[in-house]
């Protein structure tokens, strides 16, 4: 999978994919993340990519021309399955969307800044809008990083048995059960005995029951779906 990210602050996206699982995914050639500095397509020598909004009011709006040129330049080499704009007014990102996106071949993510991007880019280029939650970030880069991480770890071959996504929270609308490691007794705090039974059926039953109890307690909204 290839993900092209259009941003005015590519520096913000240097580190998130250079470590741990995202690094390994890229080293294995399963994931390719490329950032593109929007200023390459600025409309003048000053590197201008935004302007005042029509109708007045505080805050700059990202210009059509640099964004359209950036997208069309990328489209010369690649057919994109999705052009995503990350924005707090989009549908909220969840595991189901991550699953869907992990099946795409090529996507663009546009990171907005200031008041956002000119509506005409959203109307004519963007195929999907995503928010990562009901709060406002200063720019879309951290949201893009969240999406790339959540999607990248789902690509076939990225996770191994030890890190498998199969039993993640949310994969079946249930929270994952609590986990324990050695020692079985720490300061008198005991690991639940079913987990020590050595019997896979007893372990699975305990985990499923624990998932149900936990979800009912902490995220009852998930169980209605």
Residue ranges that bind ligand 6GU, judged by CB under 6 A: 86-88, 131-133, 135-137, 139-140, 143
For 152-210, the DSSP string reads HTTSTTTS-GGG-STT-TTTTSSPPPP---S-SEETTEEPPGGGGS--HHHHHHHHHHH
What is the three-class DSSP state of 213? helix
Is 142 labelled as part of a ligand binding site?
no
33 carries a ligand binding annotation: no
First-residue to last-residue Cα distance in the chain: 30
Q: How far is the CB of 115 from ligand 6GU (least distance, A)?
A: 10
Q: Which two tokens stand for residue 68?
A: 């359209």
Is position 112 annotated in a ligand binding site? yes
Cβ closest to ligand 6GU, residue 5 vs residue 174: 5
Q: Shortest gap between Cβ of 147 and ligand 6GU (angstroms)?
A: 8
CB of 63 to ligand 6GU, least distance (A): 18
130 is in an annotated binding site: no
Rounded CA gap, 182 and 203, in Å?
Answer: 16
CB 167 to ligand 6GU: min, Å: 27
Minimal CA–CA distance to 34: which of 67, 56, 58, 7? 7
The annotation status of 132 as a binding-site residue, yes or no, is yes
- Closer to ligand 6GU by CB, 12 or 132: give it: 132
CB nearer to ligand 6GU: give 87 or 215: 87
- Closest CB to ligand 6GU among residues 10, 139: 139
Distances (CA, A) of 24 to 107, 153, 166: 20, 10, 19
Binding residue numbers:
112, 132-137
Binding residue numbers for S-adenosyl-L-methionine:
112, 132-137
């Amino acid at each position: 999978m290839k993900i092209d990210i259009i941003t005015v602050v590519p520096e913000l996206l240097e580190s998130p994919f250079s470590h741990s699982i995202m690094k390994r995914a890229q080293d294995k050639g399963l994931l390719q993340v490329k950032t593109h500095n929007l200023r390459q397509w600025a409309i003048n020598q000053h590197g201008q990519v935004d302007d005042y909004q029509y109708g007045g009011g505080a805050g700059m709006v990202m210009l059509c021309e640099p964004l359209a040129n950036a997208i069309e330049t990328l489209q010369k080499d690649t057919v994109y399955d999705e052009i995503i704009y990350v924005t707090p007014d989009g549908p909220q990102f969840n595991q189901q969307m991550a699953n869907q996106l992990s099946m795409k071949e090529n996507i663009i993510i546009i990171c907005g800044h200031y008041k956002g991007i000119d509506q005409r880019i959203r109307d004519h280029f963007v195929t999907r809008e995503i928010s990562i939650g009901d709060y406002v970030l200063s720019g879309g880069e951290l949201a893009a990083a969240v999406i790339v991480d959540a999607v990248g770890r789902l690509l076939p071959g990225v996770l191994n048995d030890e890190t498998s996504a199969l039993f993640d929270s949310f994969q079946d609308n249930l929270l994952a059960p609590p986990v324990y490691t050695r020692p079985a007794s720490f300061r008198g705090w005991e690991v639940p005995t079913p987990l020590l039974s050595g019997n896979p059926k007893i372990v699975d039953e305990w985990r499923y029951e624990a998932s149900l109890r936990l979800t009912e307690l902490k995220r009852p909204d998930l169980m209605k779906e």
